[in-house]
Amino acid sequence: MWLVILNIAILLLLLISLYYMQKKHISFSIRVFVGLGLGIIFGFALQFIYGPTSEIVSESSDWFNLVGGGYVKFLQMIVMPLVFISILAAFTKMKLSNNIGKISALILGLLIGTTAIAAAVGIITAVGFDLEAIEINQGEAESIRGEQLEERSQSIEGKTFPQQMLDLLPANPFLDFTGARATSTIAVVIFAAFLGIAFLGVRRKSPEQAELFAKIVDALYAVIMRVVILIIRLTPYGVLAIMTRTVAMSDVDSILELGKFVIASYVALAIMFVIHLLLLMFAGLNPVTYMKKAFPVLVFAFTSRTSAGALPLNIKTQKSLGVSEGTANFSGSFGLSIGQNGCAGIYPAMLAVMIAPTVGINPLSPMFILTVIAVVAISSFGVAGVGGGATFAAIIVLAALDLPVALAGLLISIEPLIDMGRTAVNVSGAMTSGILTSRITGEINTDVYNDMKEKIEAEA
C-alpha cells in the first residue's frame, strides 16, 4: 500500500510543478507539452519498476484517474451546453443568419470529402505495408473481443443513407441533451439552429421580446464560456495524469509484436495530417501557424482519446485562427459525429484491406477499392466522438462489405495506442473544415490567423 501512496505523492509533486510553472506565467502550450513529457517519463518508470499488469500500477492508476478522468468528464460536461448556447448566440449576434445554409453545406462537404481521402490513404498504406489479418496471432483476448464485436454487429441494423440522415434529426431534443445517441450532438445543433431561425422571425415582428431573449442568451453564453476557460486551465494537469496512466498500463510486448501494424497506422495518420496542412497551404494560409496554435488541442485529443471532450478546446483554437464563432461551433459540433478522418476514415479502410484476403477478395481490385471508399464516406455519419467510435465505424463498414466483423478484434491489444493518433486526426479534420469554410466564404480574419499572440493561453 505504501508504494501506491508513494506513486500518488510523486504525481502530486509533478502536478505542483505544473502549477508553479503557471504561477511563473509560462505559456499554456509549453505547460501542456511539459505535462505530456512528464506523463510519458513517469508512466514508463512505473511500467519498468512494477510491470503493466502489476496490482500496484492498477491501484495507482485508479487514483491518477481522479485527475485525468475527472478532467475529461468536466470537458464532456460542458459539451452540450456549449454547443447549444454557442449556436444560438451566433444567431442573436447576427453571425450566421445570412450564410447558415452555405456554411453547413461546405462543412459537411469538407468533412465527408476528407474522410473519403482518408479512406484512400488507409487503403494505400495497408497495401504498402502488406498488412493481412492472417499474420496476427489470435489469443484468448482477441477471440473474446471478436465475439463481442459480432454480438454488437447483430444489434446494429444496417441502415441506408437516408435512414442515417434521418437519425441526425432531434425527435426529442431533451433526450439528445443527455447525449443518449451517437448523433445527439448534431441533433442539438439542429435544434439550436431552429430556435435561432425562430428568433430572427420574432425579431421582425416583436423586437422588444427578441431583444430580451437575446440578452438572456448573451448572459448564458458569457457564463458558459467562463466555465470553458476554467476547465481549459486544467489541461496541463489532465494531460499529465492521462498520459501517465496510459503509458504505465500499456502492453509493450503486444505493441512490439504488432509493431508493423502500429507503424502502418501512424504513417497513414501522419499522411492525413499532412494533407490537412496542404489544404490550408493551398487556401493561402500558413500551415506552420496552424500547427503552433493547434498543438494544445491536438495533444489533449491524443492523450484523452475523446473528440467530444476536446470540443471546447477545438472551438477556441478555431477562433484563435480567425474563424468566426458560428462556423467554429458548426464545424466542431458536426465533426463529432460526421466525417472523422481517423476513426471513420483510415481505420475501417485499413481493416477492410487486411481482412479481404481471408474471404478470397482481392484488395487491389479497383471495384473493391472504390466500394470501400464509398462505404466509408457514407458510413461516417453518426460515429460517436468518444472512445470506441472507431470500433462502431469498423463494424458498420465491415458488415456493409460482408466481411467477418470478428477479425477486427485482432488488434485489441494495440487499440488504445492507435486510437490516440486517430482522435488527434479527427479533431484536426474538424478544425480544418472550419478554417477552409471560413476561407471560402471570405469570413476568416487572416490578421487573427497570423497573430501568434491570439492563442488559447491568452484567455486560459
Checking if the pLDDT of 404 tops 50, the result is yes
pLDDT computed for residue 114 by the predictor: 93
pLDDT digits (tens, 9 = 90+) for 109-144: 999 999 999 999 999 998 888 877 665 555 555 455
Checking if the pLDDT of 80 tops 80, the result is yes
> Which cell is 347 given?
481505420
pLDDT digits (tens, 9 = 90+) for 24-62: 888 877 888 888 889 889 988 988 888 877 888 888 888
CB of 347 within 8 A of CB of 383?
Answer: no
Backbone dihedral region for residue 309 (phi beyond 0: left; psi -120 to 50: alpha; all else: beta): alpha
What values do phi and psi take at 48, rounded to 5?
-65, -40
> Which cell is 134 given?
492472417
Average pLDDT over residues 435-446: 90
SS3 338: strand
Checking if the pLDDT of 164 tops 70, the result is no
> Which cell is 449 given?
490567423
> End-to-end CA distance of the chain, in Å?
37
Average pLDDT over residues 369-389: 72
User: The domain spanning residue 111 has which CATH number?
Assistant: 1.10.3860.10
DSSP alpha helices (H): ranges in 24-54? 28-50
Mean pLDDT of the residues in the chain: 81
Owning domain of residue 358: 2-458
pLDDT computed for residue 267 by the predictor: 94
pLDDT computed for residue 291 by the predictor: 92
> Which cell is 175 given?
433526450
CB of 188 within 8 A of CB of 84?
Answer: yes
CA 256 from centre of chain: 26
Average pLDDT over residues 299-326: 83
Could you count the other beta carbons within 10 Å of the beta carbon of residue 56?
17
pLDDT computed for residue 459 by the predictor: 47
Structural domain count of the chain: 1
Checking if the pLDDT of 451 tops 90, the result is no
Average pLDDT over residues 149-162: 55
| Residues paired with residue 315 on neighbouring β-strands, in sequence order | none
CB of 373 within 8 A of CB of 349?
Answer: yes
Q: Cell numbers 427578441 correspond to what residue?
A: 210
Greater pLDDT, 406 or 145: 406
Crossing angle of the two packed helices 325-334 and 311-320, in degrees rounded to 10: 140
Average pLDDT over residues 282-310: 86
pLDDT computed for residue 458 by the predictor: 40
Range ranked top by mean pLDDT from 203-207, 266-270, 453-457: 266-270
pLDDT digits (tens, 9 = 90+) for 190-202: 898 889 889 988 9
pLDDT computed for residue 436 by the predictor: 95
pLDDT computed for residue 272 by the predictor: 95
pLDDT computed for residue 383 by the predictor: 60
pLDDT computed for residue 400 by the predictor: 73
CA-to-CA separations, 306 to 41, 148, 269, in angstroms, rounded: 23, 22, 16
Contacts of 437 (CB under 8 A, 6+ apart): 103, 106, 107, 110, 327, 331
Checking if the pLDDT of 315 tops 80, the result is yes
pLDDT computed for residue 110 by the predictor: 93
Rounded to 5°, the CA angle 372-375-380 comes to 120
pLDDT band for position 428 (50/70/90)? Answer: very high
Using CB atoms within 10 Å of the CB of residue 253, give its burial: 0 to 12 exposed, 13 to 18 middle, 19+ buried: exposed
Q: Among 66-70, 134-138, 236-240, where is mean pLDDT lowest? A: 134-138
3-state secondary structure 174-202: HHHCCCCCCCHHHHHHHHHHHHHHHHHHH
Alpha carbon distance 381, 344 (integer Å):
9
Rounded to 5°, the CA angle 255-72-22 comes to 100
